[in-house]
């Protein structure tokens, strides 16, 4: 706990057998109260490894629900456990678990609702092995989003994030994609509804066993990002309403299933 707030780490897992233990061992359990791992129908021994490590809350999808679908299950379970701060940590060891404490602290202080571990702040992205085409596309997409969303972030595409309970309860996350663009839609929603987003510089590591989408899926993701930003602007102008930017009375902690 930090400032009396319960902290739950969620790990959306897919073929993470080789990197899970190293990631889990570095979680700062002096502040983290619970860990949830959701396995998205992996064909390796991720689930066995998680249980061998003693992770209490292991959820297994019988069929692959996609990265966004995995996160929806993660957040629902975290809220059921009474989480007041939720940190999403990829189990592929691409992001260091050692930043969980400062990220959670930024929310526990009451200053931010969302905190991102940015690979772009500082000089860590390319040094950490980020492919040049991904770095360039990251910078281009972030520029367009900052313009269309009227916000200023160093990047919208990191997978290392911390959220307050309020964010997870109030954003219409059930309207978001089950694919990789879920991450981007969630940030666009946070901006749209006026939540405060902070960033912390985060080193990143690209290596053989780290998960990373291929070029084709990166292109699909890029178009999804642009479409999300355009929808944001059109909705804000009052031209067309989109469900992802319309608040509902649905509460994630009370929902049985996600779309």
**2 lies in a domain?**
no
Confirm whether 192 is domain-assigned: yes
For the domain that residue 87 is a member of, what is the CATH number?
3.90.550.10
Whether 17 shows a pLDDT value over 70: the answer reads yes
Q: Which two tokens stand for residue 252?
A: 């994630």
In this prediction, residue 131 carries a pLDDT of 79
Is 259 a residue whose pLDDT tops 50?
Answer: no
**CA 230 remoteness from chain centre:** 21
On the question of pLDDT at 213 being above 60, the answer is: yes
| Predicted model pTM | 0.90
- Model confidence at 129, in pLDDT bands (50, 70, 90)? confident
Q: Confirm whether 259 is domain-assigned.
A: no
Decide if 1 is inside a domain. no
Quickly state the pLDDT bin for 257 (edges 50, 70, 90). very low
Residue 42: HSE in the Cβ half-sphere, 13 Å Cα cutoff: 25
pLDDT band at residue 256 under the 50/70/90 scheme: very low
Q: How confident is the model at residue 211 (pLDDT cuts 50, 70, 90)?
A: low
Structural domain includes residue 15: yes
- Look up the domain containing 61 and give its range: 7-248
pLDDT, tens digit (0-9, with 9 covering 90-100), for 114-123: 999 998 887 6
The pLDDT of residue 249 is above 70: no
* Token duo for residue 175: 């309207």
Give the burial string for 165-182 (b: 16+ CB within 10 Å, else e). bebbbbbbbbbbbbbbbb
Q: pLDDT at residue 93 above 90? A: yes
Q: Which H, E and C letters describe 114-182, residue by residue?
A: EEEEECCCCCHHHHCCCCHHHHHHHHHHHHHHHHHHCCCCCCCCCCCEEEEHHHHHHCCHHHCCCCCCH
Q: Are 130 and 122 within 8 A, CB to CB?
A: no
pLDDT exceeds cutoff 50 at 83: yes
pLDDT higher than 90, residue 128 = no
Flag whether 258 is in a domain: no
Asked whether the beta carbons of 127 and 143 are under 8 A apart, the reply is no
Q: How many domains does the chain have?
A: 1
Residue 257 lies in a domain: no
pLDDT single digits (tens) 159-200? 999 999 999 999 999 999 999 999 999 999 999 999 999 999
Residue 161 within any structural domain of the chain: yes
- Mean of all residue pLDDT scores within the chain: 91
pLDDT, average across residues 243-255: 67
Question: What's the confidence (pLDDT) of residue 210?
Answer: 56
pLDDT attached to residue 250 = 55
- Model confidence at 127, pLDDT cuts 50, 70, 90, reads confident
């Amino acid at each position: 706990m930090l400032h009396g707030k319960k902290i739950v780490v969620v790990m959306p897992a897919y073929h993470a057998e080789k990197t899970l233990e190293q990631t889990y061992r570095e979680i700062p359990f002096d502040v983290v109260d619970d860990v949830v791992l959701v396995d998205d129908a992996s064909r390796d021994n991720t689930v066995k490894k998680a249980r061998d490590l003693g992770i209490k809350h292991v959820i297994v999808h019988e069929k692959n629900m996609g990265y966004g679908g995995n996160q929806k299950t993660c957040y629902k379970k975290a809220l059921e456990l009474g989480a007041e701060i939720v940190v999403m940590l990829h189990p592929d060891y691409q992001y260091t678990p050692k930043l969980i404490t400062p990220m959670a602290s930024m929310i526990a202080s009451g200053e931010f609702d969302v905190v991102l571990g940015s690979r772009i702040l500082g000089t860590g992205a390319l040094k950490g092995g980020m492919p040049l085409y991904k770095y360039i596309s990251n910078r281009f997409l972030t520029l367009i989003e900052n313009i269309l969303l009227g916000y200023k972030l160093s990047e919208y595409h990191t997978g290392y994030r911390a959220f307050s309970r309020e964010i997870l309860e109030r954003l219409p996350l059930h309207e978001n994609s089950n694919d990789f663009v879920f991450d981007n839609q969630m940030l666009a929603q946070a901006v749209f509804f006026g939540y405060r987003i902070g960033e912390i510089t985060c080193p990143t590591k690209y290596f053989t066993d780290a998960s990373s989408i291929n070029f084709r899926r990166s292109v699909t993701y890029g178009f999804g990002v642009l479409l999300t930003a355009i929808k944001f602007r059109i909705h804000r102008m009052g031209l067309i309403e989109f469900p992802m930017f319309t608040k509902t009375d649905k509460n994630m902690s009370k929902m049985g299933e996600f779309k």
